[in-house]
Amino acid sequence: MRCLVLAIRALGDVVLTTPIYRALKSAYPTERLDVVVERPYGELLRGNPYLDTIYEVDRRRNTAKCLNWPAQARLIAALRRERYDVVVDLFSGPRSALMARLTGAGYRIGEDTRHRGRGWLYTHPIPVKREEEHLVVQKLRLIQPLVGEMPAGPIELFLLPGERDEADKRLRAEGAREGAVRVGLFPGAGWAHKQWPAERFAELGDALVAEQDADIVLFGGPHDVAACDAVAIRMRHRPLLLCGAYSLRATAARISCMNLFISNDTGPMHMAVALGVPTVALHGPSNVRKYGPWGESVQVVSSHLPCSPCPQQEDTCHLVGRIRQECMLAISVEDVLEAVERLMAAATPLKWLRRERAPVRG
């Protein structure tokens, strides 16, 4: 069986779908398993032992404000040449549904989206409880016709040999101390409504320096530089700044060197969990039941306001009589420190101080 998975979605979603590859490869260990993801997220899946080929599709628009149709056509042609027996469309968007059909595969699985006019593009539309189940469980339900009843495995990212050592070397060159507890903070978010206040991240960082003699490392992508700077200038103790144009692989390797990761609800938060780093996730307007961290060494801090979750990218606080971002403002520094203490209590001292986290594919 030649199987193609379509996982064309944002960073966090790509990480949350990684249990699917383990499940499919466990059921069909000798068969071909390929995936299509959005560029640049394919680099995160490099080293995954369950995947054979990783294709990337560029969903950005060109200068003519339209999709790069020649590139799309070349990808479809390449997929058709592979003659896949099965295509699994994990997110069942308009484009991925059409892509599934155009591959020519005779067995096509996707969400039951007949009410949106796309169900006919699949041979096996599967009902999914979109808002009632965690995303990992939803996606495992999609492949149940192929793998049967199977428990949901962990989310996981794999580092290549030498990547963690190189990241550790660079961290020390940038000022990280040998043997110190390293705490990564991610103060940014794709939606400003999800951001915990910068002054609280700063207070939290200073408290962890005082209590744990920790090195504080601020993480962020190109769009998070302002959020990182806002935290750094408020801290009494100088943090390490890792904000800017770092590749996803370099970011993953650096996160794997952390002893603790504290983050708003973001893709890098899921990356930390997938890399085996104890993680505290700060949740406000998003659906914790659906998008919460999927792992064991995690703590979720949320005010659990009755108005959450909000519609994505919509600030509706005023419609329910709340001040803007009240769900995030209700989270105190003490709340987060208590979550850190619970994580530390659940881990042995050796586990807390070690930085051997993500599996390394040899």
**pLDDT by residue (tens digit) across 176-234?**
999 899 999 999 998 888 999 999 999 999 999 999 999 999 999 999 999 999 999 99
Two tokens at 98? 């059409």
The mean per-residue pLDDT over the stretch 303-318 comes to 78
Higher pLDDT, 328 or 345: 328
pLDDT, averaged across the chain = 90
> Is 317's pLDDT higher than 50?
yes
Taking alpha carbons only, the member of 356, 326, 338 closest to residue 300 is 338
Residue 266: how many other CB atoms lie within 10 Å: 26
Question: In this structure, which amino acid lies at residue 121?
Answer: L
The answer to whether 90 and 130 have CB atoms below 8 angstroms apart is no
Which residues make Cβ contacts (< 8 Å) with residue 179, sequence separation at least 6? none
On the CB side of 243, CA atoms within 13 Å amount to 25
Q: What is the pLDDT of residues 345-362, one digit of tens each?
A: 887 554 455 444 456 565
**148-162, 187-201, 278-292, 300-314: range with lowest mean pLDDT:** 300-314
Q: What is the pLDDT of residues 95-128, one digit of tens each?
A: 899 999 999 999 999 998 766 677 789 999 998 8
Work out the percent of the chain whose per-residue pLDDT is above 90: 73
The answer to whether 188 and 224 have CB atoms below 8 angstroms apart is yes
Q: What domains are there in the chain, each with its CATH number?
A: 2-147 (3.40.50.2000), 163-353 (3.40.50.2000)
Q: What is the pLDDT of residues 294-308, one digit of tens each?
A: 998 999 999 888 888
Q: Is 324 helix (H, G, I), strand (E, B) or coil?
A: coil
